[in-house]
Amino acid sequence: MERDGLRHATLPKTRDMRMETTQRTISDRSSPGPRTASSVGRIHQDGSRNYATGGSNKTIRARNQIVIGAWNGRILREAGMIEQLEYEMSKYRWNILGLCEVRRKHFGETLTSDGHKLYHSGREDKHEHGVGFIVHKDSADDVLGCRPISSRIMTIRLKAAPFSITIIQAYAPTIDHEDEEVEDLYNKVQKTLNEVSKKDIIVVQGDWNAKIGEHAQEDWEGTCGQYCNQATNDRGLRLLEFAKYNDLKIMNTFGPHTP
């Protein structure tokens, strides 16, 4: 259920949250193929690294509820913005939030004044873009590792039972960027997704800067719901292709919300 930008879910006892495979395929894209697990502390071929963050014997269980959300941070590098985010989030029950527009350089980890953990991944040269996660202090020990991919993609892995949870946070280029940049983002997200353990529960979220129209439900049955915009733009079509290809549902189209 989506409420005020937060998605509230109870962990299933099944293997993952992805929809069952249908016969419909995208003819111009090959199948994902086998995926391999990415281990904490491992350096990947693209030079990125999984960063271990400690951990304990505490584990999220299937009987527990965990709230995973996405939030557009709006320049969290400015003084007082993290405290403002904490104040806003004190109105909700939450465990982990994926962030966009963090606008902090490099990879970093910060302990907030309230004791929550902030992880961020940004550009090396300037305060632009930026993604991250803020983990509630009660869930900090559940984090197995955090992997910065770029200033637009980051992953975090949570220890859970019977299956761990991997969250991929993405921030897509806005409409004023070239299509090549958008395609590069999707290629990198796909590569990241392919490296996630097949046993993990997978959440892919973020700000996709895309519009999906009300007629998409007919053409992309099972991939999106009825709560959409009036029309689908090119970026929305690309998001639909990505979701269909990976047997994912675009969850914020399955419940009513403010346009």
Over residues 216-230, the pLDDT tens digits come to 999 999 999 999 999
Residues whose CB falls within 8 Å of the CB of residue 207, separated by 6 or more in sequence, listed in order: 70, 72, 100, 101, 170, 171, 172
| Residue 35 pLDDT exceeds 50 | no
Q: Give the pLDDT confidence score for residue 109 in this predicted structure.
A: 85
> pLDDT: is 129 or 177 the higher one?
177
- The strand pairing partners of 66, in sequence order, are 9
Tokens encoding 6: 């937060």
Q: Are 212 and 199 in contact (CB under 8 A)?
A: no
Say how far apart CA 212 and CA 216 lie, in whole Å: 7
For the chain, what's the residue count?
259
67-79 pLDDT, tens digit per residue, is 998 887 665 666 6
| DSSP helix/strand/coil, 253 | helix
Q: Can you tell me the mean pLDDT for 157-182?
A: 94
pTM: 0.75
Say how far apart CA 19 and CA 222 lie, in whole Å: 8
> pLDDT: is 24 or 234 the higher one?
234
